Amino acid sequence: MKTTEACRLNKFLASRGVASRRKCDELVKAGRVSINGSTVLLPGTTIIPGKDSVQLDGAPLAEPPVTRYLILHKPAGYIVSAADARGRPTVLELVPAAFGRLFPVGRLDLDTEGLLIITNDGDLAHGLMHPSRGVEKRYEVLVAEVISEGVLEALRRGVDLGEGRKSSPAAASYAGPAGGGHLLRIALREGRKRQVRRMCKAVGLTVRRLVRTGVGPLELGSLKVGSWRELSADEVRSLKNEVAAERTSEAESSR
Ligand code: URA
């Protein structure tokens, strides 16, 4: 964030690690935030970071946290959540607590494995998850049945997901026999709940294993199950470019 650029108060508070943007809205509305000594009640108020003095409960904000960008090879059986009421293991237990408050970007089902981005960069997470960004997610699906060209065509065109919804056009290819079944590769630019599983069900395929192998410019590669690594500066740059590029093309197409 440049110090001279005006910024909405809720976004600024979230960027300083106070809480999520929504929670920051509540803090402002509750009268707990002041700008240059005066209490403000509107979360959309703009401030100039570095110039305006923002306080929470009468105290200056902590220094901004170091931004962290990790990918984890999520194992099956781990829940994508910060905590689980049923006591199941969470993905955040697999990354160092010393990194501070991090959160997973998007969701993978309990039984899904593969690439999960974990970060404390709320803006990037927001951009990556936003449906309008259409960031590509790639999956390998081990299914029990033989995969015909007709099934691939149906998956590419879009299938009925129930509740009157159809999946958007996707890439789908057959990668050969594997693990006593057949391997399907699917790439989607949307992320509805249990989408790959629902698409497979719609065309009569039984999913035995589902692994996310890529998100936008990132690949799972040889990262071992249950392991994590920090993204390189180049990877973070391409991820940010991807979100920005999607934003630009969206703006162009709406003209
Ligand atoms: N599609 C699914 O069905 N499950 C996931 O976890 C991700 C995509």
**CA distance linking residue 194 with residue 116, whole number of Å:** 15
Cβ atoms of 235 and 218 closer than 8 Å: yes
Task: Using a pLDDT cut of 90, give the percent of the chain over it.
Answer: 72
Q: Which residue has its alpha carbon closest to ligand 1 atom 5?
A: 108
Domain that holds residue 54: 7-60
pLDDT of residue 97 exceeding 50: yes
* Residue 69 pLDDT > 60: yes
Is there a domain that residue 2 lies in?
no
Q: How confident is the model at residue 243 (pLDDT cuts 50, 70, 90)?
A: confident
Single residue among 17, 37, 60 that ends a domain in this structure = 60
Count of structural domains within the chain: 3
> Nearest C-alpha to atom 4 of ligand 1 is from which residue?
194
- For ligand 1, mutation pick of 74, 161, 194, 220 (most atoms within 8 Å of CB): 194
Regarding the beta carbon of 199 and ligand 1, being less than 6 Å apart is answered no
Q: What is the pTM for the complete model shown?
A: 0.80
Instruction: Give the model's pLDDT for residue 249.
Output: 52
Closest CA to 48 of 6, 1, 2: 6
Catalytic residue check, 109: yes
Judgement on whether residues 114 and 224 belong to the same structural domain of the protein: yes
Residue 253 has pLDDT above 80, yes or no: no
Q: Which helix (H) or strand (E) holds 38?
A: strand 38-39
CATH number at residue 46: 3.10.290.10
> Domain for residue 99, yes or no?
yes
Whether 247 lines ligand 1, by a CB cut-off of 6 Å, is: no
Share above pLDDT 70 across residues of the chain, in percent, rounded to a whole number: 95
Average pLDDT of the chain? 91
Q: Are residues 77 and 177 in the same domain?
A: no
Residue 160: the pLDDT is: 94
